[in-house]
Amino acid sequence: MRGGIVVYAIFLGLMLSQRSAAQIPRACADRQSLEQMTCCPVTDDGVCGEDAERGECGAVNFERHRNDTTDVRVNWPHYYTNVCKCSGNFGGYDCSRCAYGYYGKDCASRAIIPRKPVRDFSEEEWEDFVAILGRTKTWDSGYVVVLEEQVPGAADLNMANVSLYNFMIWNHHYAAKDSFSLLTPTYLDYAHNGPAFFTWHRWWHVFLEAEIQAMLEAMGREDYFKFRLPFWDWRREIQTSYGLPSEQLFTFNRFGETRNISNRPVVFGDIVDGWNTICHFTPEQICDPNIPTGGIQRCPFIGNPILCHSSNPDWPTMQEVNRALEAEFYIVEPYDRLSVNSVYDRVDFNFTMGVEACRQEGYCSCVPTGDVRCEGIPDDATGVTVAATGVHPKVHYLLGLGSSEVIPADLQGSMYDVASSPNDPIFILHHLMVDCILVEWVKSHPDAEYPDSDLVRDGHKKDDYIRSFFPLVTNGEAFYDTKEFGYYCDLPNLGSTEAETPSPLETRLSFFITGSSVEVCVETKTPAIIKLILRDSKYGRQVAIVKGFTGCGMFGGLPAGEHSVRAVSRELPGRRRGRYLSEFFKFSTN
C-alpha cells in the first residue's frame, strides 16, 4: 500500500513514443510497458494477481473512432492493447484492490451506504471530512501525467508525479479541454455537452472516493470502507429552511470564507490552507501541475454582501429539480447541448433563447440579461433574449460570477472556468447533488437505457471508455444502479415546492453484506426505537430492534437473491410519539 509521500511534479525524463498516455499508473509508465503496449503490473500475487485468481492480463476491446488525430483521448486507451482484467469482486489497475463497494482481505464483503447531505454533518464529521479532503492535496496519487502536447514522431515526453487531488483536477481539465494536435479540427469535450456528462462526473467521484478509501486504509483507519463523499442540497427552499450557504458551508473551518483582497474574492480557511490552484484558465493547453495558478476564488463581490452569501441568491429551486425528474427521457437527439425535454438538458442546458421560447419550454430558470428575468417575465418582454441555464451551470455561475455580467478573469471565482472548476473543492459537493438527481431519476425510470446510437459523438457513446480513467470503465457501465458502486441517494421533498420540516426520525440505512448475512445500520436525528424488518422470498420476515441515535441489526442465513428492508420507528418515551415508515430498500446477496 502506498504511503503518504508528498510528491509534486518530479520530472521522470521518460523516453516515450508517440503513443504516450494522458495519465497512467506509474507502474505502467516504464519503457517496456509502453513499448509492449501492456499495462499488466506484477504484484505479490503475480501478473494482475493471477496466482491468487484475482485477475489476468487480457486484450482491450474498443472501437477505433478516428485515425486523423494524435489526441489520445479520441481512441482511449489506444496506447495499450493489454490490461489487467479483474475477476469477481477484485479491482484496481493491477487487481490488488477490491471492486468499488467491496472491502476486506478477500473482497468478500460489500458496503452500501447512503450519501449524506452536509447540512446533517456533526461538528466531528465536518472536522474529519475537512482533514481528509485536505490530505488529498499532498497524498501521492500513484499516477503520472503528461506535461506537453503530443507531436507526431515525438521521441521524448516529460511526465510528472502528481498528488491525488491535483490528479483529479488534472483529469477533469484534460477531459474537458479543447482539442489539440488534430489534423482535422473538431469540437471535443468528453465530460460535458452530451450523454457522458452524468456518467463522466459520476465516475470522477467514484474514483476519488475509492482513492480516499485506499488512503485511509494506508493511514491505518479500520473504518476506511465506510467513507462516502457527501453532497450539498443547494435547492433554494432547502437552504432557506436549513440556513444560508454562508452558515452551512462557507465558514473558515469548513469550506472557507471569501475575503476581499485587493477587490479579489479570495477564499481563506482550514480546508484551503496552502491549497494552490492548477490548470486555471488554460483551456487549450495540457496543464502542468508544477505551475500554481493562484489561490481559490469564490463568490465574486457584486455589491455588498457577496451574492452567494446573501439572503436571496438565485439558487436552483425545488420546482426546477422536480421538472428535471419529471422528464421522460435521459437524453434525445441530437444527443448534445441542443437536446430538449430530457433530464440531461433540464440539468445541464446552457444556451440563449427568446423569452417566448423560454416560456414555452417552461424552464423558468434563466440568467438575466439586462433587467429581464425568466421568472416573472413581464408581458411586454416579447422578443427579448435571455440566457437559459440548467441547475448544474447555475451553481457554477453563482459561485464563479455572482451575476449574469461577465467580469474579468482575475476577479472570477474558480468554479466559473469549466475545465479547472474542481480546483474549488465545493465542486465535489455540487456535482454529487447533480449525481443524486440522476440517481432519483433512474429510480422512477428503471427501464431507462444509456443511448446506443451512431449519432452520439465519440467519447460519449455507450461502449466508449470514460476519458481518461484507468482502470477502464464504459459510459454504459457507469449509468445504472449506483448500489453496485457502494452508494445510493435519497433526496427529501421530491415532488414538493416547499421545504417541509423533515421528521426527527428520518432514517438512513447502511448495509454491510458478507455471504448470506447482512448487518443493517440505521442513523436517526433523535433517539428512537427502530424496528428493522427484513423480507426475503424464502424465509419470509426477520426483525431486529435498534435503540438510540444509531445502531445495527444482524440478519443471517439469507438465501441468494433479492431482499428488502424497512425501518419502522417510534420515538422514545417522554417525546412526542409517532410511527414512521421508511420505504423498502432492496439489496441482494450471492
Residue predicted with more confidence, 324 or 189: 324
Q: Which structural domains are found in the chain, ordered by start?
A: 508-589 (2.60.40.10)
Tell me the C-alpha distance between 372 and 382, whole Å.
11
Predicted local distance difference test score (pLDDT) of residue 51:
97
**Percent over 70 (pLDDT), the chain:** 73
Predicted local distance difference test score (pLDDT) of residue 329:
94
pLDDT at 290 over 60: yes
pLDDT at 500 over 60: no
**Percent over 90 (pLDDT), the chain:** 39
Q: Which of 45-59, 155-169, 292-306 has the lowest mean pLDDT?
A: 292-306
Q: Give the pLDDT confidence of 208-257 residue by residue, as tens digits.
A: 999 999 999 999 999 999 999 999 999 987 877 776 666 778 889 999 98
Predicted local distance difference test score (pLDDT) of residue 369:
42
Q: Give the pLDDT confidence of 419-471 residue by residue, as tens digits.
A: 899 999 999 999 999 999 999 999 999 999 999 999 998 889 999 999 888 89
From 136, 23, 125, 20, select the one nearest 78 (Cα to Cα).
20
| Distant-in-sequence, close-in-space partners of 212: CB < 8 Å, separation ≥ 6 | 132, 136, 164, 227, 229
Tell me the C-alpha distance between 456 and 476, whole Å.
13
Tell me the C-alpha distance between 567 and 532, whole Å.
5
Predicted local distance difference test score (pLDDT) of residue 394:
85
Asked if 279 and 324 touch (Cβ cutoff 8 Å), the reply is: no
| Distant-in-sequence, close-in-space partners of 323: CB < 8 Å, separation ≥ 6 | 346, 362, 363
Residue predicted with more confidence, 359 or 318: 318
110: cell is 460489500
From 284, 521, 300, 276, select the one nearest 423 (Cα to Cα).
276
Please tell me whether the peptide bond between 334 and the residue prior to it is cis, using omega within 30 degrees of 0. Answer: yes
Asked if 34 and 19 touch (Cβ cutoff 8 Å), the reply is: yes
Q: Which of 251-260, 307-316, 318-327 has the lowest mean pLDDT?
A: 307-316
* Cα 59 to chain centroid, rounded: 29
Q: How far apart are the first and last CA of the chain?
A: 29
Tell me the C-alpha distance between 242 and 500, whole Å.
11
Q: How confident is the model at residue 529 (pLDDT cuts 50, 70, 90)?
A: confident
Q: Which of 190-204, 379-393, 511-525, 535-549 has the lowest mean pLDDT?
A: 379-393
Going by their DSSP bridges, the two strands 264-268 and 257-261 should be labelled as antiparallel
Give the CA distances from residue 248 to residues 251, 259, 403, 508, in Å, rounded to whole numbers and listed in that order.
Answer: 8, 17, 21, 21
Asked if 249 and 415 touch (Cβ cutoff 8 Å), the reply is: no
pLDDT at 401 over 80: no
Asked if 568 and 579 touch (Cβ cutoff 8 Å), the reply is: yes
**pTM beyond 0.85, yes or no:** yes
* Mean pLDDT computed over 302-314: 52
Q: Give the pLDDT confidence of 3-40 residue by residue, as tens digits.
A: 332 232 333 333 333 333 467 899 998 888 888 889 99
Predicted local distance difference test score (pLDDT) of residue 388:
56
Asked if 471 and 55 touch (Cβ cutoff 8 Å), the reply is: no
Average pLDDT score over the chain: 79
* Mean pLDDT computed over 278-294: 80
Q: Give the pLDDT confidence of 141-194 residue by residue, as tens digits.
A: 999 887 765 543 333 557 889 999 999 999 999 888 765 444 444 456 888 889
Tell me the C-alpha distance between 166 and 137, whole Å.
6
| Residue linked to cell 484534460 | 174
Q: How confident is the model at residue 114 (pLDDT cuts 50, 70, 90)?
A: very high
3 state DSSP class of 169: helix
pLDDT at 381 over 50: no
